[in-house]
């Protein structure tokens, strides 16, 4: 790929601004309260845009347009469950985390169940995030290689060091404000892509709506043989119906807003409960249109390449090339100088906004839930601030090492490994929190009963997925629903165990 001088200027300017934000906020980081939650002074609109930047990753920039280009809008369907999830988060989850100056999502688990369950929640989060960091950095390095021609190793190391630098020195202040910037850049990059398409198409916007509509490209249905299939609204564990897709989305979003440190940390960094709640509304009414916009961009690209046939685009539609190569191909082949630089900056922003948030949240959980709580209690705040810097550097190193390992191995291996680890350790986390939010029954014993049963259940589905079980012992449902069933299992088993122990105690007292 050859970039014009204007593109390099735009890219360099963007990276300098991001680094400058980190350096600027480094002067404020004189306490853990500042480093982890920014002094708890953020306004709602800042929190909302930061949440958008955190949740919008390379998936939004690459996968959404690619999916809409190749099929229809089915991938968008689970996002519609965000509205009810935000309502529950705003009025049920949020008040719990705003009590008592919490910093971590897993402090609640200790308050509700005890220290052992808090450790489990923290470790499960750390493992999942470290794996996620390595994968995102590796994906980011692919773009860096394409833009600069650097070797894979150099691209991974430079990308990891850059993100790590402004995150380590700037703390949560730098993370939140760079996420806001990256959200704006991401949206602007997409708008410029659409503008180029509209300028090129003879019929403009109307042509996109008419041509794509006639081909069924806006349908919310499985894509079969070059056309949308029938949309089913039935409840079924054996097929992907629209209703089940919405339930999957609801489960994912409720998990995100009840137990994900990236989100809970922003609750805690807000000025007040009202501002935190306002941040959720800003997120809702910003993220849903942005996701829809990127789906529409993919549909527009389908119309564009139907009008102006292209070998690579045809190969993607025929399954001969990966769909995720669509956006890089369009950027490099069809965008004018300067515009291409900004859109590449948007692609970088999509990955960097996920990396910096995860590095900071992993650091926070490591210090608050493990190091300060169990390993080195009763030290002064300066000690914990130095520990945070050290851990953030270590997390950055782990991220780079993981990406380097991924680059030298079969990508499917890491994808499988990460899926298994996240499923095993993170499975049922929503059920665990819901039991704590909506019931006063149960202690650590009940929680561990639920965790153990969920781990066994998830392990069973993993073995089924790997084809390691005979047909008679394999899971009789679509494995897409593993998380949904696992959360229900966690809640039910935990509640029943709590009820049995309560009944046993009451019986013992009466006798």
What pLDDT digit, counting tens, does each position of 382-397 carry? 999 999 999 999 999 9
Phi, psi of 321 (to 5 degrees): -140, 155
How far apart CA 142 and CA 407 sit, in angstroms, is 10
pLDDT at 89: 93
How far apart CA 335 and CA 347 sit, in angstroms, is 14
pLDDT band at 420 (very low <50, low <70, confident <90, very high): low
pLDDT band at 423 (very low <50, low <70, confident <90, very high): low
- Rounding to the nearest 10 degrees, give the CA dihedral for residues 378, 382, 385, 386: -100
Q: Which two tokens stand for residue 464?
A: 């089924």
Q: Of the ranges 154-163, 267-276, 341-350, which one carries the lowest mean pLDDT score?
A: 341-350
How far apart CA 121 and CA 430 sit, in angstroms, is 11
What are the tens digits of pLDDT across the range 309-366?
999 889 988 888 877 778 888 887 888 888 888 888 877 877 788 888 899 999 999 9
pLDDT band at 29 (very low <50, low <70, confident <90, very high): confident
Query: Between the CA of residue 67 and those of 76, 198, 241, what are the distances in Å?
Result: 10, 20, 18
Across the range 144-155, mean pLDDT stands at 83
How far apart CA 140 and CA 15 sit, in angstroms, is 14
Q: What is the CATH number of the domain that holds 24?
A: 1.20.1730.10
pLDDT at 47: 94
Last residue of a domain, one of 426, 455, 487: 426
User: Residue 145: which of 153, 155, 135 has the closest Cα?
Assistant: 155
Last residue of a domain, one of 426, 450, 480: 426
How far apart CA 477 and CA 483 sit, in angstroms, is 12
Q: Bigger pLDDT: 189 or 239?
A: 189
Whether residues 66 and 86 share a domain: the answer is yes
Whether residues 398 and 460 share a domain: the answer is no
Across the range 149-165, mean pLDDT stands at 89
User: Residue 258: which of 485, 94, 121 has the closest Cα?
Assistant: 94
How far apart CA 224 and CA 222 sit, in angstroms, is 6
Domain limits for position 467: 427-511
Whether residues 415 and 436 share a domain: the answer is no
* CB 239, CB 232: distance < 8 Å: yes
How far apart CA 215 and CA 229 sit, in angstroms, is 12
Counting Cβ atoms within 10 Å, is residue 43 exposed (0-12), middle (13-18) or buried (19+)? middle
Whether residues 369 and 447 share a domain: the answer is no
pLDDT at 507: 52
pLDDT at 90: 94
Ranges of beta strands (E only) in 62-136 are: none
Residues contacting 50, CB < 8 A, separation 6+: 42, 175, 176, 177, 179, 180, 183, 266, 279
Q: Bigger pLDDT: 399 or 185?
A: 399
Whether residues 376 and 479 share a domain: the answer is no
Residue 296 region, left (φ>0) first, then alpha (ψ -120 to 50), else beta? alpha
Q: Domain total for the chain?
A: 2
Across the range 240-245, mean pLDDT stands at 82
How far apart CA 347 and CA 332 sit, in angstroms, is 13
pLDDT at 348: 80
Whether residues 416 and 472 share a domain: the answer is no
Whether residues 39 and 172 share a domain: the answer is yes
Whether residues 224 and 144 share a domain: the answer is yes
Last residue of a domain, one of 409, 426, 443: 426
Q: Which two tokens stand for residue 162?
A: 């850059």
pLDDT above 90 as % of the chain = 45
Q: Which two tokens stand for residue 242?
A: 């629209």
Q: Which of 51-55, 192-196, 505-509 has the highest mean pLDDT?
A: 192-196
Q: Bigger pLDDT: 22 or 462?
A: 22
Whether residues 401 and 474 share a domain: the answer is no
Mean pLDDT of the chain, nearest integer: 86
Residue 271: strand, helix, or coil: coil
What are the tens digits of pLDDT across the range 447-479?
999 999 998 998 888 788 778 888 888 888 777
Whether residues 444 and 480 share a domain: the answer is yes
Query: For residue 224, what are the β-bridge partners?
Result: 227
Whether residues 290 and 438 share a domain: the answer is no
Query: Between the CA of residue 305 and those of 67, 294, 322, what are the distances in Å?
Result: 15, 17, 16
pLDDT at 271: 94
Across the range 78-103, mean pLDDT stands at 90
Q: Of the ranges 95-99, 119-123, 146-150, 315-319, which one carries the lowest mean pLDDT score?
A: 146-150
* CB 316, CB 62: distance < 8 Å: no
Residue 489 has pLDDT above 80, yes or no: yes
Whether residues 453 and 384 share a domain: the answer is no
Q: Alpha carbon 107 to chain centroid distance?
A: 21
pLDDT at 336: 86
Indicate the pTM of the whole model: 0.87
Q: Which two tokens stand for residue 419?
A: 């899926």
pLDDT at 413: 47
Q: Bigger pLDDT: 277 or 137?
A: 277
Residue 412 has pLDDT above 50, yes or no: no
* CB 430, CB 251: distance < 8 Å: yes
């Amino acid at each position: 790929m050859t970039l014009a001088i204007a593109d390099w200027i735009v890219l360099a300017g963007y990276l300098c601004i991001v680094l400058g934000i980190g350096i600027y906020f480094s002067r404020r980081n004189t306490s853990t309260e500042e480093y982890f939650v920014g002094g708890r002074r953020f306004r709602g609109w800042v929190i909302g845009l930061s949440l958008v930047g955190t949740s919008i990753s390379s998936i939004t920039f690459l996968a959404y347009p690619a999916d809409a280009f190749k099929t229809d809008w089915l991938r968008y369907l689970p996002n519609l469950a965000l509205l009810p999830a935000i309502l529950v988060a705003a009025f049920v989850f949020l008040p719990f985390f705003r009590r008592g100056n919490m910093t971590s999502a897993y402090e609640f688990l200790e308050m509700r169940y005890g220290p052992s369950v808090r450790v489990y929640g923290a470790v499960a989060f750390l493992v999942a995030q470290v794996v996620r960091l390595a994968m995102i950095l590796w994906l980011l390095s692919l773009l860096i290689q394409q833009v600069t021609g650097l070797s894979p190793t150099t691209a991974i190391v430079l990308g990891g060091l850059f993100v790590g630098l402004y995150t380590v020195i700037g703390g949560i202040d730098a993370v939140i404000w760079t996420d806001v910037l990256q959200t704006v850049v991401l949206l602007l990059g997409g708008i410029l892509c659409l503008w180029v398409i509209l300028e090129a198409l003879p019929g403009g916007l109307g042509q996109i709506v008419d041509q794509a509509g006639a081909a069924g490209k806006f349908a919310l249905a499985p894509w079969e043989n070059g056309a949308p299939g029938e949309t089913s609204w039935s409840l079924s564990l054996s097929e992907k119906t629209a209703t089940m897709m919405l339930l999957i989305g609801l489960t994912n979003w409720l998990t995100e807003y009840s137990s994900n440190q990236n989100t809970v940390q922003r609750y805690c960094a807000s000025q007040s409960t009202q501002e935190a709640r306002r941040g959720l509304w800003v997120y809702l009414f910003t993220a849903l249109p942005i996701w829809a916009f990127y789906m529409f961009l993919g549909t527009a690209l389908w119309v564009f390449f139907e009008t102006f046939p292209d070998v690579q685009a045809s190969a993607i539609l025929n399954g001969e090339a990966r769909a995720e190569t669509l956006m890089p191909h369009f950027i490099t082949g069809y965008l004018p100088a300067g515009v291409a630089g900004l859109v590449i900056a948007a692609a970088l922003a999509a990955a960097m906004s996920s990396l910096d948030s995860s590095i900071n949240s992993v650091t926070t959980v490591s210090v608050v839930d493990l190091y300060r709580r169990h390993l080195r209690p009763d030290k002064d705040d300066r000690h914990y601030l130095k520990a945070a810097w050290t851990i953030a550097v270590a997390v950055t190193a782990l991220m780079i090492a993981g990406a380097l390992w991924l680059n030298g191995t079969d990508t499917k291996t890491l994808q499988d490994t990460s899926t298994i680890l996240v499923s095993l350790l993170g499975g049922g986390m929503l059920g665990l929190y819901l039991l704590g939010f909506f019931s006063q029954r149960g202690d650590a014993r009940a929680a561990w009963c639920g965790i153990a049963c969920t781990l066994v259940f998830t392990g069973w589905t993993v073995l089924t997925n790997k084809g390691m079980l005979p047909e008679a012992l394999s899971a009789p449902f679509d494995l897409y629903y593993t998380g949904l069933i696992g959360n229900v299992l966690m809640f039910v088993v935990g509640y029943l165990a709590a009820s049995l122990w309560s009944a046993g105690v009451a019986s013992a007292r009466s006798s």
